[in-house]
Amino acid sequence: MQQIHDYYTILEVTKNATAEEIKASFRKLARKYHPDVNPGNKTSEEKFKSINEAYNILSDETKRADYNRLKFNKKRYDSFSFHSQNNEQKRNFSKFKNINFNSDANKKAKTVSSLHNAQDVEAKLNISLEKAYCGGRERIRLEDGRSIEVDMPSKMISGQKIRLKNQGLNGGDLYLEILITPHAFFKLKNIDIIYEILLTPSEAILGEEITVPTIDGMVKITVPKGIQAGQKLRLANKGYFDELGQRGDQFLEINIAIPSEISEEELFLYKQIRSKEKFNPRRNKS
């Protein structure tokens, strides 16, 4: 009669451990006993096999329930195993070839055969608005310590998921959920972009040609004479995109900035204007 392995002891967790606690302990032990970290060490090699076998059982709710029933109810059996439908039962190494422990280990990466039951993994990736728009090659570090390069598509949106084949556990896939971080001065409102323009009083009164940023780069616009604070100017098709590729607009919100310090000459000129101006914004409110 074969004895049931104590997978909880192997993963250094209690039988009441949560899924997150099991995952965290597995990652810690996998790094410690990985063959690339302990080249030629047979003890570490066997320990690594046991860790992966234990995690394969305890990370799956159904397998864990079956295991607990057999182990803690002390039922007798001839051989204890959790067979996949294709009846695989070899205890091999997990595919951890992408874990970056050090540069030397990566250069001498060993081909490690896969355990049964590949598992997909999900992770969140925070990126800037510009990166989401342009895409391109990006190096990212995962929670399990791996550092991988990803070819990011352009025009990504928050909540979008990117599938990376064979980058999960045991040859499963990795799904990256894209989250666009708040921008320093662009505000996303659905697929429109809001940008605040600060004008001097003279620019607002006289009108001016100015340069403003968009996610496509800098563009020149003409501010009309007499524009008011709170008004908006629209730049058509300069916004962001939805999942169908439809593009929004960029809206320029006008605000008037009052200087906190001015020169003696400027003060003199403002006094001259004040003595001659006929505009009274409070005329109809008194």
Structural domains in the chain plus CATH codes: 7-69 (1.10.287.110), 121-180 (2.60.260.20), 186-263 (2.60.260.20)
Alpha carbon distance 79, 234 (integer Å): 72
Q: Are strands 192-199 and 250-256 parallel, antiparallel or unpaired?
A: parallel
> What is the pLDDT at residue 167?
85
Tell which wins on pLDDT, 40 or 180. 180
> What is the pLDDT at residue 32?
85
Q: 272: which 2 tokens? A: 């001259």
pTM > 0.75: no
pLDDT for residue 154 is more than 70: yes
Please name which of 177, 172, 173 lies closest in space to residue 157, comparing C-alpha atoms.
Answer: 177
pLDDT for residue 101 is more than 60: no
Please spell the DSSP secondary structure of 2-16, one letter per residue. Answer: PPPP-HHHHTT--TT
Helix (H) or strand (E) holding 221: strand 217-223
Counted residue by residue, the chain has a size of: 286
